[in-house]
Amino acid sequence: MDPKELARNIDINEYEYNLPEDRIAQYPAEKRDHSMLLVHKNGKIRSDKFTNIYKYLPPDTMLVFNNTRVIRARILFRKKTGSSIEIFCLEPILPATYDQSLGSHTAVEWKCLVGNLKKWKTGTLSTSFFFNNKEFKLNAEKIRPSGQAMIIRFSWEPEETSFGRVIESVGHIPLPPYVKRDDDEHDYLRYQTVFSAIDGSVAAPTAGLHFTKDLLDKIVSKGILCTELTLHTGAGTFRPVKTNDLSLHEMHCEHYIITRKLIELLLENRNKVIACGTTSVRTLESIYWLGIKLLSDPGSSGLPLFTDQWEPYGNNSDITVEESLKTVLRLFHEKNCQEINASTKLMIIPGYEFRMITGMITNFHLPKSTLLLLLSAWTGPEWKKIYKFALENNYRFLSYGDGSLLMK
């Protein structure tokens, strides 16, 4: 079926449900792994504490985590007139990679959302901050519009530290819009996973927030393999579907990093992979389609590695996961490297055929969201029974809420 036709045949209103405000978690559970856990397998639902998740994982499972780290992406400026301007950093433009931009000691340009933009007609915004007991000044200058966002040039004086250090000193944790409070220092720890390592996300991979080092040790001691990838979650993950014609919804683009070791482990553990979080699901499925593209067009290996929104649909690929992953692995050999950067706009909707996973760990998502569509693509109509059970049994929803393990 043509992908746009498949999308048009989906009634987004079927993915609406009543989510009371008081069920949206405004704070995390007191202890990470003391969240509630819903387990769905073979059409049956069971309720437990998240700390017991290892009991429900097959011993030969491979868990894949997203090790991205949330940056302090919200920067507040105040004009001399008293107007407050908020700049929300989305992704780097110049330099274009996260590590180069966050490590830069000279001016950088980022794609940003600007709050109260009408109040910022001309001029450069400035704010002061302290780092290592020394005062610095951060400047922001509008360069050009970019869709609904703006390209902003940041510079700072003196240039004795990196842009990453600058925003860690002056910025705020970008809590989701449904968390109706200001961020605090507690969020700096709790809106990060314990395995976060690579700076770049503006939203946490929230399924991973439930894990502690002790719980990970229990999982490993059961013989379960844990490995990591990196996908920098963008603010677009919160963007609702605002059209009844799903084919008109534009999926956000997110950047990811995969290692040679990950591909080797995926080859060794086919049909045993459980993804922690929808970000890991999208990345793993994008890797499959990356291999398909490299097989069908070997010349694409010299181009930016990218999976488009509707690319898999209408592509009834009979190429196995093994063939695809071996093709991706050859790319590492050709480039003589240990890691590869790529990006994806993959939108997973009902009708999508999953290739890479046998289960997923995820939180409970907003009505009419692309994340709920992804979950429905995995569970089918069972998602309604799962969410009904969660609502009737006092589960907490969204980023700081409870978790679920969804197995085939």
Helix/strand/coil (H, E, C) string of 33-48?
Answer: HHCEEEEEECCEEEEE
Domain 3-69+188-407 matching CATH 3.40.50.970: the answer reads no
- Give me the pLDDT at residue 298, please: 82
**C-alpha to C-alpha distance for 37 and 390, rounded to whole angstroms:** 10
> What token pair was written down for 4?
């746009």
Angle of CA points 235, 239, 240, to nearest 5°:
165
The secondary element (H helix, E strand) that includes residue 77 is: strand 74-78
**C-alpha to C-alpha distance for 396 and 37, rounded to whole angstroms:** 10
For residue 298, which phi and psi values (nearest 5 degrees)? -55, -25
Confidence of residue 278 (pLDDT cuts 50, 70, 90): very high
pLDDT tens-digit readout, 153-190: 999 999 999 999 999 999 999 999 999 999 999 999 99
**Can you point out the beta strands (E) in 79-201?**
84-94, 108-115, 125-131, 134-146, 149-157, 198-201
User: Does the pLDDT at position 5 exceed 90?
Assistant: no
User: Does the pLDDT at position 226 exceed 70?
Assistant: yes
**C-alpha to C-alpha distance for 99 and 101, rounded to whole angstroms:** 6
- Give me the pLDDT at residue 20, please: 98
- Going 296 to 298 to 303 to 304, the CA torsion angle's sign is positive
- Give me the pLDDT at residue 79, please: 84
Provide Rg for the chain, Cα atoms: 21
- Give me the pLDDT at residue 2, please: 79
What is the separation of C-alpha 405 from the centre of its chain, rounded to a whole number of angstroms? 18
Tell me the percentage of the chain whose pLDDT exceeds 90. Answer: 88
For residue 170, which phi and psi values (nearest 5 degrees)? -110, -20
The secondary element (H helix, E strand) that includes residue 340 is: strand 339-344
User: Does the pLDDT at position 223 exceed 80?
Assistant: yes
Describe the crossing of helices 382-392 and 370-379 by its angle, rounded to 10 degrees. Answer: 110
User: Does the pLDDT at position 299 exceed 70?
Assistant: yes
- Give me the pLDDT at residue 408, please: 87
pLDDT tens-digit readout, 51-69: 999 999 999 999 999 999 9
**C-alpha to C-alpha distance for 39 and 272, rounded to whole angstroms:** 17
The domain limits of the chain are 3-69+188-407, 73-172
In this prediction, residues 92-109 reach a mean pLDDT of: 96
pLDDT tens-digit readout, 348-386: 999 999 999 999 999 999 999 999 999 999 999 999 999
- Give me the pLDDT at residue 368, please: 96
**C-alpha to C-alpha distance for 340 and 263, rounded to whole angstroms:** 11
126: left (phi over 0), alpha (psi -120 to 50) or beta: beta
User: Does the pLDDT at position 73 exceed 70?
Assistant: yes
Q: Which residues contact 301 (CB under 8 A, 6 or more apart)?
A: 294, 331, 334
**C-alpha to C-alpha distance for 293 and 287, rounded to whole angstroms:** 10
User: Does the pLDDT at position 1 exceed 70?
Assistant: no
**C-alpha to C-alpha distance for 289 and 250, rounded to whole angstroms:** 19
Count CB neighbours of 261 within 10 A: 13
* Average pLDDT value over all residues in the chain: 95
User: Does the pLDDT at position 3 exceed 90?
Assistant: no
- Give me the pLDDT at residue 337, please: 96
**C-alpha to C-alpha distance for 169 and 164, rounded to whole angstroms:** 9
Pair 232, 279: CB distance under 8 Å: no
- Give me the pLDDT at residue 406, please: 98
- Give me the pLDDT at residue 315, please: 77
Confidence of residue 27 (pLDDT cuts 50, 70, 90): very high
- Give me the pLDDT at residue 384, please: 98
In this prediction, residues 273-280 reach a mean pLDDT of: 98
Pair 277, 204: CB distance under 8 Å: no
What is the separation of C-alpha 145 from the centre of its chain, rounded to a whole number of angstroms? 25
